Structure 1
Amino acid sequence: MRGFLHCYYHDIYGIRPVERELRNTIVWLSCGFDRPPSRDAVDRFLTDLEHVVDDVFDRLVEQAARRGLLDLTYCIDSTDVRALPADQDASKCYDPTAEEYYHGYGCTIVSTGQKIPIAAEFTESKQASEETAMRVTSDALAVAKPIWMVGDSAYDTLDWHDHLLDAGVVPVAPYNARNADDPKDIEYRVEDRIEQHGEDVQLKQSTLDETYNRRTGVERTNESVKDCGLGRAFARGRVHARAQVFLALCIRLVVAITNYERGDNPGSTIITV
């Protein structure tokens, strides 16, 4: 694990590049190896890691929460994970942000605070299903309950809003008039749904606008995790791709926690030595 963390932190990805880097005597000794690991050993480790990487991620999220690195606004968004052309498990996906197709997978992330990912799910494409959104949202709420949960118009669904309101969380996602036969005169879906969940509850438009503007936080989180290797899968197969995605998420948490412990900025994507 320490060897992969070293390589990913130094932008070294893929089975062969990692194996080459770990031939460096200083590197393999500092990572605790008795000898340089073989390519097969690196491959097997990545395969085995996929079985436990969820638990590692969850433990790191717990550590971040204990240190007060979470805040009261959660943001949810999906990002692309581009695969090698030879990866037969990957599929043709559409990225609506870039307005282009790509070969790969996706990842739905909930983040908070200073670029802290707290829940995630590896998906077949960037455009995640409503079921995925509900699962990731539930995972995030299990960590700690925020006041706000922010998403873009893709999260303008009744079930998502009602689930959050039932949990005592205010969802903020733009109202998508295309989802309705008789469009409502509202900016955010919650303006309509909150009437079903409480009496005499009012939300100011300015408060909703200000809260929604915080959605850029998850975009910054996605970029910071891509700095740790999220954006591209450098090994073939869904198992390895998923392991690499969660390893990148773990590295982001390790960097944030380490910087916090050193009195540095947890939002920084580098560790100053």
Structure 2
Amino acid sequence: MSSATLRDDPSVESFFNLVATETLALFEHLSFEFLDEYEVFVPSEAGRTRDHEPSELMRGFLHCYYKNIYGIRPVTRELQNTFVWLGCGFDRPPSRDTVDRFLTDLEHVADEVFDYLVEQAAVRGLLDLTYSIDSTDVRTMPADQDASKCYDPTTEEYYYGYGCTIVSTGSKIPIAAEFTVSKQAPEETAMRVTRDALAVDQPVWMIGDSAYDTLDWHDYLLTAGVVPIAPYNPRNTDDPLDIEYRVEDRIDEHSEDVQLKQSTLDETYNRRSGVERTNEAVKDCGLGHVRARGRVHARAQVFLALCLRLVVAITNDERGDNPGSTIITV
């Protein structure tokens, strides 16, 4: 039976509707056609035309990640399913080489796609006035020669892979992120991700754990009109300050008019668990299942997981459901 007549066949109509509805629920409120304009996706050989549009392949990857299907071969197999490739907008199923090439090319524009979805979440009012920043592990296969043995101080164990620093807000909404070589991100990464987050919108509070107890991070946020809250870490100082949070000292030094209650700082810092829930939600969307061979594919898959988390949140919000849920109810 041809795909042209498949939709009209009563014997498969109900099954097609089930699969298509689940798939299209991810895309009905969002357009990915802007991807088709990126020159990075143009075939390298002169005279060649695209076999498939980038927007179709983006839909295909998001569908697969939502279904917990990861890796080039498994994604290709899933997109051979007639109901799936029809639901994602393909004229015919893509080949393995096409899927592989798209993931490689996507890495060049992954930040821009993520930023586009963050804007969509912002205009829908899904952000709030408290931002949280944290790093998480990105575990991959030992076959990935670009990955390295990393240490996770939270679990006090070693793992093989990379890391990701995320700023989140609202109902498990990631709004800024950076792929890193390990979970222990350098201060420069924290500053860059913080600037990216404030470029989306200005919060009242910015929360981080003791790893963000740095003068540059605090002073940058205070200058921007944001209150940073990170536990004071005396490190190896011989004369530790009598404070709980670094911001107490920074405000005392730079302002005579501003005062913060200890109870307010404690209450606000307790919201830091929000970024941990965001990390777990993004792991449910694929961050915890990176099947990569090489840094390029790993980074692309990390941003695909971040994008899927945003798509699910936006879709649930548009359908009147809880944007914090990682499941779309059909």
* 1:114-193 correspondence runs (5 A): 114-193=171-250
Answer yes or no: is 1:93 the counterpart of 2:143. no
Q: CA separation in 2, counterparts of 1:67 and 1:190?
A: 32
Q: Which residue matches 1:266?
A: 323
Q: Give the number of the structure with larger relative contact order, counting CA–CA contacts within 8 Å between residues 6 or more apart.
A: 1
Q: Gapped runs of 5+ residues in structure 1?
A: none
User: SS at 2:133's partner residue?
Assistant: strand
Could you say which structure has the larger radius of gyration? 2
Cα offsets for 1:10-57 (capped at 9, x unmatched): 000000110111111111111112222111111001001111111111
Aligned sequence identity (%): 85
Q: Which residue matches 1:47?
A: 104
1:74 corresponds, among 116, 131, 142, to 131
Q: How far did residue 235 of structure 1 move?
A: 1.8
Q: How far did residue 200 of structure 1 move?
A: 2.3
2:164 corresponds, among 107, 111, 124, to 107
Contact 1:88 1:237 in 2 (8 A): yes
1:249 corresponds, among 306, 319, 325, to 306
1:206 corresponds, among 238, 263, 276, to 263
Q: CA separation in 2, counterparts of 1:83 and 1:162?
A: 36
Count of aligned positions: 273
Q: CA separation in 2, counterparts of 1:36 and 1:228?
A: 23
Stretch moving more, 233-242 or 214-223: 233-242
Cα offsets for 1:156-211 (capped at 9, x unmatched): 00110001001010000000111533101100000001123322211111100000
After TM superposition, the runs of 4+ consecutive aligned structure 1 residues lying more than 4 A away are none
User: SS at 2:151's partner residue?
Assistant: strand
Q: CA separation in 1, counterparts of 2:228 and 2:270?
A: 13
Q: Normalising by the residue count of structure 2, what TM-score does the alignment of the two structures yield?
A: 0.81
User: SS at 1:194's partner residue?
Assistant: helix
Stretch moving more, 117-126 or 257-266: 257-266
Q: CA separation in 1, counterparts of 2:267 and 2:116?
A: 32
Answer yes or no: is 1:5 the counterpart of 2:62. yes
Q: CA separation in 1, counterparts of 2:292 and 2:74?
A: 11
Contact 1:151 1:173 in 2 (8 A): yes
Contact 1:257 1:266 in 2 (8 A): yes
Q: CA separation in 2, counterparts of 1:217 and 1:179?
A: 30
Q: Which residue matches 1:234?
A: 291
User: SS at 1:176's partner residue?
Assistant: coil
User: SS at 2:235's partner residue?
Assistant: helix
Stretch moving more, 249-258 or 196-205: 196-205
Cα offsets for 1:187-244 (capped at 9, x unmatched): 0000001123322211111100000000000000000000000123212110000000
Contact 1:166 1:197 in 2 (8 A): no
Q: CA separation in 1, counterparts of 2:251 and 2:277?
A: 29
Q: CA separation in 1, counterparts of 2:214 and 2:316?
A: 38
Contact 2:70 2:289 in 1 (8 A): no
Q: Which residue matches 2:141?
A: 84
Cα offsets for 1:100-157 (capped at 9, x unmatched): 0111000000000000000000000000000000000000000000000000000000
The letter of the residue matching 1:44 is R
Contact 1:110 1:117 in 2 (8 A): yes
Q: Normalising by the residue count of structure 1, what TM-score does the alignment of the two structures yield?
A: 0.98
Root-mean-square deviation (Å): 0.9
Q: CA separation in 1, counterparts of 2:282 and 2:131?
A: 16
The letter of the residue matching 2:242 is D
